[in-house]
A and B are shown apart, each in its own frame.
Chain A
Amino acid sequence: MSLNYTWRLLCLCCATFFLLHLVLALVTRLSVGTAMRMAARLKPSSAARLLFFLRISPMALTLFALLAFCIPSYLWLEPEAAGERVGFACFLMASLGVAIWLISLTRTVYAVRGTVRYLAQCQRYGRKLQVPGEPSPALLLSQKAPILAVAGVVRPRLVVSTTLLRGLTAEQRDAALRHERAHRTSRDNIKRFLILLSPDVLTFLRAFTALERSWAKFTEWAADDQAAEGDSHRALSLASALVRVARMGAQPKLSYLFSSLVPDDDELTERVDRLLRPQPNPGKPAEVLLPFLTSAGALMACAVTVVLIWPDSLSLVHQALERLVQ
């Protein structure tokens, strides 16, 4: 198949994305066991951070390689000839690259759309409730289902049902709200969004399911620790709030972009047992997105430095791309 300059660039980008992502994702998948064992020895917030970075690293590193080396080398060194033949293997890999992106984008769009619609309904039918410590009013729903969650990615809102508020004592309510606040300050919904956006090794294999479940568990533990702040009485209140909410019945199925108080009944026993044991005060929650953006910037600066010091690096990349096209 013969493609012109721009389509060839697109095809190469998708094929390179697929190939690099596959290799990096397989390497990541192989290191998941070790990472999970390491995470078990760390404090929950650090463990959650480690697993989160591991989960999104294949996508982040692949995009970095594309933006820092592949696209510049193509734009700089590829002559603008009329058309060039693209091999079947390259075309196949490009198609698979497009497919895994489409699947990730579709599930992200579905989750965002579900969250936006749910929040719109909450705003329409719910009442606004001022909650101390919350930047925007919480949305109070007159529902039988026990709901307490932080919903939304950019400006997360607290959503709470009257059943849950009435069913908890003041101490339990305070502990539960602190837990949700911890999810908001740790920007867990943005992390969920990035996880949704990151393709799996091969999407249908769902090879990162164990990693994602483990990340979710440590995220809950970290929020529990933030809520308790090393205070045994507060930890007890949170534990009893968890049990009380579990007794209220099943929560409705919410979008992945919700951080709920009891997202998974299977983890409840472990969480309660953990809260009954004395835990150290985790201190102020560590900022996650700033180091992430800083390291991305530093990586880009390194790439520019490499290209400036060693211009041949781009021609090497270009040769590799030429081979891929053939």
Chain B
Amino acid sequence: MISDFMSRTDRQPQLGPLEIRVMEVLWASDQCSVRDVVEKLERKLAYTTIMTTLDRLFKKGLLARQKAERAFLYTTRLSHQDWQRQCAGHLVAGLLTGSRPSRELLLSSLVEAVGRHDVNLLDELEEKIRAKRKELCRRSQD
């Protein structure tokens, strides 16, 4: 079932940890050259490593680039939010195109998870109300 799902999500470019970090740098800034990205990354990496990573992201269609003097300037093609939305969309689409039993199993797990989340949320709200009631009682006694 998992391999089934993985093959179905092939259309969404898979990103490695370094690629994600590079994308995050680019999402945070308008336009970056290879040197800018090297400087902005927390972990110091070789110039050529970042250049190759940026080139790979460009080929995956996630970045646009234009030549300025002798270097390329890179920009993202998708906003961070759009990327996340696309990932979520692919994930859900992948879940829903499976065989009928696996689809039902996954959906019921999803519903159960949402239900658990709702119950936890209501518990939290009730706790808040209880705390507020205690505070009001204390204040009226004072």
Q: Which residues of A line the B interface, CB within 8 A?
A: 232-233, 236, 239-240, 243, 246-247, 265, 268-269, 272-273, 276
Q: Establish whether residues A236 and B136, one from each chain, have CB atoms under 8 Å apart when the complex forms.
A: yes
Is residue B60 within 8 Å, beta carbon to beta carbon, of the partner chain?
Answer: no
Q: Establish whether residues A240 and B129, one from each chain, have CB atoms under 8 Å apart when the complex forms.
A: yes
Which residue of A232, A233, A269 is within 8 Å of B125 (Cβ)?
A269
Whole-angstrom distance between the alpha carbons of A273 and B132 in the complex? 11
Residues of A within 8 A of B129 (CB): 236, 239-240, 243, 272, 276
CB closest chain-A residue, reference B126:
A243
Is residue B56 within 8 Å, beta carbon to beta carbon, of the partner chain?
Answer: no
Q: Establish whether residues B121 and A269, one from each chain, have CB atoms under 8 Å apart when the complex forms.
A: yes
Residues of B within 8 A of A246 (CB): 118, 122
Q: Is the interface of B mostly helix, strand, loop or mixed?
A: helix
Whole-angstrom distance between the alpha carbons of A177 and B129 in the complex? 19
Other contacts beyond A236-B132, A276-B132: 18, CB < 8 A: A233-B136, A236-B129, A236-B136, A239-B125, A239-B129, A240-B126, A240-B129, A243-B125, A243-B126, A243-B129, A246-B118, A268-B121, A268-B125, A269-B121, A269-B125, A272-B125, A272-B129, A276-B129
CB closest chain-A residue, reference B128:
A276
Rounded to whole Å, the gap between the CB of A224 and the closest CB of chain B is: 14
Q: Which residues of B line the A interface, CB within 8 A?
A: 118, 121-122, 125-126, 128-129, 132-133, 136
Whole-angstrom distance between the alpha carbons of A273 and B128 in the complex? 8
Rounded to whole Å, the gap between the CB of B37 and the closest CB of chain A is: 34
Whole-angstrom distance between the alpha carbons of A2 and B6 in the complex? 63
Q: Establish whether residues B136 and A272, one from each chain, have CB atoms under 8 Å apart when the complex forms.
A: no
Can you name 29 A-B residue pairings with CB atoms under 8 Å? A232-B132, A232-B136, A233-B136, A236-B129, A236-B132, A236-B133, A236-B136, A239-B125, A239-B129, A240-B126, A240-B129, A243-B122, A243-B125, A243-B126, A243-B129, A246-B118, A246-B122, A265-B118, A268-B121, A268-B125, A269-B121, A269-B125, A272-B125, A272-B128, A272-B129, A273-B128, A276-B128, A276-B129, A276-B132
Whole-angstrom distance between the alpha carbons of A233 and B128 in the complex? 14
Whole-angstrom distance between the alpha carbons of A314 and B122 in the complex? 62
Whole-angstrom distance between the alpha carbons of A276 and B132 in the complex? 7
CB closest chain-B residue, reference A276:
B132
Residues of B within 8 A of A276 (CB): 128-129, 132
Whole-angstrom distance between the alpha carbons of A240 and B122 in the complex? 10
Rounded to whole Å, the gap between the CB of B84 and the closest CB of chain A is: 19
Rounded to whole Å, the gap between the CB of A296 and the closest CB of chain B is: 42
Residues of A within 8 A of B133 (CB): 236
CB closest chain-A residue, reference B131:
A276
